[in-house]
Chains A and B, each alone.
Chain A
Amino acid sequence: MTAVPETPAPDAGAGPAVHRLAVAGRGRAGIAHAMAIAQHDACTFAGAFAPRADLRRFARGAGFAAPLEGSLSRLRERAPFDALVVCAPFDSRAGVAADALAAGHDVLVDGLPARTLEGAAPIAALPPDVRARLRCATPSLFHPLLRRGASVLASGVLGTPRTVRASVFVSRVFSHGAPPHGDDVLDFAVGDLLVLLDHVLGPIVRVSGAAQRLYGERIDEAHAELVHANGVVTGLDASWSVPGYPRAAVVIEVEGEAGSLIASDDALEVDLADPAGGMPAGVTRVLPADLPDPLPFDAGEGSRALHAFVASLHGAAVGELAGDRSLRALGVIDGMRRAFASGAAEECGA
């Protein structure tokens, strides 16, 4: 079933020129990006830096021959690069991104640039024309089904949204032997959903709600009402303490005047009162295998974003990668924390 309108392939616009990409942070995401860069036709893996020597040793042992250094300045000396993919830990991510932007590089940040707006201050302090080169990628923005759902919403076939619900559930906090360090469900999963909501329904300006702490001091569950700038209200539920979700389940449900939509990483269902946008009346259901997958090498959930980033270096539209969206999501997370503490509605600002 592929009657749902097509979205442009993530690599649309990629040209023949080759860019040199470096990676900051040799953690899980950094390794995945190095893999994808190394196998991408339109870029080369210039090198990487990570302060931790054991991670540099690991990357060398994996077989990467490009320079692996302990600092950004040292990497610049040894391996000139055009653009930097930043996968550093939260504590240093914004600083590294800001340094690279100030040095004139295009920058892709994997995930949100910080835990809080305050943490992203090094980026916010940059002149607007420098900050404009910032790109940020969260997984849900590039999931094929959620992307297709976003394009259906953007096409307007549902009419004005009346009810919007969004959720993210994942089984993590109680995972044996895998206690998270410092993060809570807002950092781990909600940020991704907020960036997606910003993309499909516009900026969020006000938030209220409540949080639950089940396993200690950290927030394990969140229930919130998000008010978008266009007046649409989204009800949000999030938990990382629900059994049965080895992978994060991101779901957006929209009920409009002319139909409804349920978009998730599992399936996309569009139910229309009348034929519209190339879809028939009734339910249209799309599964992952129904959608084209243009990635020749897939190193994980960041690979689609990397493809889009490389395409943007070749002149394709920035689209979902716009960095300001992630900064706004940080403002919403800050607002949620304030709202959970005060019990009142809080304004969000980035």
Chain B
Amino acid sequence: MSRPGSAPRLLLGATCVDLPPRTTRDRALEVAGRFRESESLAVTLVKALAAGAEAVYAVPSPTMRAALAELRRAVPVLARLPHTPPSADLHYEPDFAREGERDGAGTLGAGFGAFALVPAMLSGELSASVAARCEHGARFLAPRDRRGLAVAAQATDLALAAGNARFFERMLAWGRARFDGLAGFETAHLGLLVRRLHEWGIEPDFVIAPVNPRGYAMKPDAAGALGALRRDGIPVLANELRAGGVVSLEEGVRFAREHGAHGLIPELVDLDDVASELRALGGPAGEA
């Protein structure tokens, strides 16, 4: 089911454009101000690709679309979907539970991939509503820019906690077809997710999770998450490398690589000079 070796080694994380990053508020506001203009974001994306990033890990939001529209070239985007904005906390029910924006079976748009979701649609299984939400967000992404789908941690971890193996199977099948590429899962619970995926025999193209020397946000704890990194079969793309700004990027990257991370996702909030710092990480060619 998996396609070993196809997961990227270096991505620019740009989720902080649309989601609260784990960093100090001052830093978050500074970066948000820097990329308020779509031109600034567009230039940064191009510089990141030139410096060795294979793709951009981002929410395909109107903000990101405006930046991509500034460019006349393809920018490979690993799309973090469904979008889960903080303002959703004004609603009593979870985003995925809300009806009204449901795109329905006919608009899931994955050709044969949509067939994977037919049982879910009939039974009300989570993957149907999550895929519909992903479809809703995917409209902000031109086909030329699609590199793959990363199911957002809120959806991943809900299915994980509930022990819903079918969700993972179905989202992989649909995501690979719909996004013409890779499909994987973002999680806050690397240790548990990797253990369950192995038990279920499910092999996503990648998993995205926090990895840093402080063990910050690594679940169930640092040792458990590092154990998951060492297991074969599921490439882990490490984010939260700077532990909320407590350690340097170099230190975080060194730690992640030493412990077996397949790839790295430094976020915009982790970088001051995107081009030079990404180039220093070596990019795909510089990987050991």
Contacts and interface: CB of A to CB of B under 8 A. Distances in A.
Contacts of B88: 28, 178
B36 to A, nearest CB: 11
Interface residues of A, number: 46
Contact of A289 (B120, B163, B243): B243
Interface stretch (B72-80, B93-101, B274-282): B93-101
B245 interface: yes
A299 to B, nearest CB: 7
A217 B126 CA distance: 38
B4 interface: no
B228 to A, nearest CB: 13
Interface in B120-155: 120, 123-126, 128-129
B273 interface: no
B265 to A, nearest CB: 17
Contacts of A246: 19-20, 85-87
Given A246-B20, A267-B24, A290-B246, A61 B124 contact: yes
Interface stretch (A51-59, A220-228, A324-332): A51-59
Interface stretch (A31-39, A69-77, A207-215, A338-346): A31-39
B262 interface: no
Interface string B224-257: 1000000000000000000111110000000000
A232 to B, nearest CB: 26
B155 to A, nearest CB: 9
Contact of B244 (A57, A181, A287): A287
Interface string A282-315: 0000011110010111110000000000000000
Given A39-B192, A289-B214, A28 B91 contact: yes
Given A27-B92, A58-B96, A62-B126, A299 B87 contact: no
A150 B99 CA distance: 42
Contact of A63 (B29, B99, B159, B219): B159
A179 B90 contact: yes
A244 B29 contact: yes
A114 to B, nearest CB: 15
B28 to A, nearest CB: 8
A334 to B, nearest CB: 23
B32 interface: yes
B159 A289 contact: no
Q: Max chain B CB contacts within 10 Å: which of A27, A62, A299?
A: A62
B158 interface: yes
18 contacts: A26-B93, A28-B89, A28-B91, A58-B93, A58-B129, A61-B124, A63-B163, A63-B164, A178-B88, A246-B19, A267-B24, A288-B244, A289-B212, A289-B214, A289-B244, A296-B219, A297-B161, A298-B189
B47 interface: no
B206 interface: no
B167 A63 contact: yes
B216 interface: yes
B188 interface: yes
B73 to A, nearest CB: 30
A54 B99 contact: yes
A288 B164 contact: no
Given A63-B159, A178-B87, A287 B24 contact: yes
A155 interface: no
B157 to A, nearest CB: 7
B161 A39 contact: yes
A62 B154 CA distance: 12
A61 B94 CA distance: 13
Nearest to A52: B93
B22 interface: yes
Interface of A: 26-28, 31, 34-36, 38-39, 54-55, 57-58, 60-65, 89, 171-172, 175-176, 178-181, 188, 244-247, 249, 266-267, 287-290, 293, 295-299
Given A297-B220, A298-B219, A38 B161 contact: yes
A180 B97 CA distance: 17
B221 interface: yes
B24 A62 contact: no
B87 A175 contact: yes
B162 A175 contact: no
Which A-B residue pairs are the 7 nearest by beta carbons? A63-B164, A63-B162, A296-B220, A35-B161, A175-B87, A289-B216, A58-B97
Contacts of A171: 87
A150 B76 CA distance: 46
Contacts of A39: 161, 192
A317 B220 CA distance: 24
B126 A247 contact: no
Given A28-B94, A54-B97, 15 more contacts: A26-B93, A27-B94, A35-B161, A54-B99, A55-B93, A58-B94, A63-B159, A89-B92, A175-B90, A188-B90, A245-B25, A246-B86, A287-B246, A289-B216, A299-B161
Given A178-B91, A297-B192, A61 B219 contact: no
Nearest to A169: B25
A246 B29 CA distance: 10
A302 B93 CA distance: 15
Contacts of A27: 92-94
Of listed A61, A176, A267, A287, residue having the most chain B CB within 10 A: A61
Nearest to A174: B87
Interface string B189-220: 10010000000000000000000101011011
Contact of A266 (B24, B91, B126, B161): B24
Contacts of B224: 296
A298 to B, nearest CB: 6
Given A27-B94, A63-B126, A38 B162 contact: yes
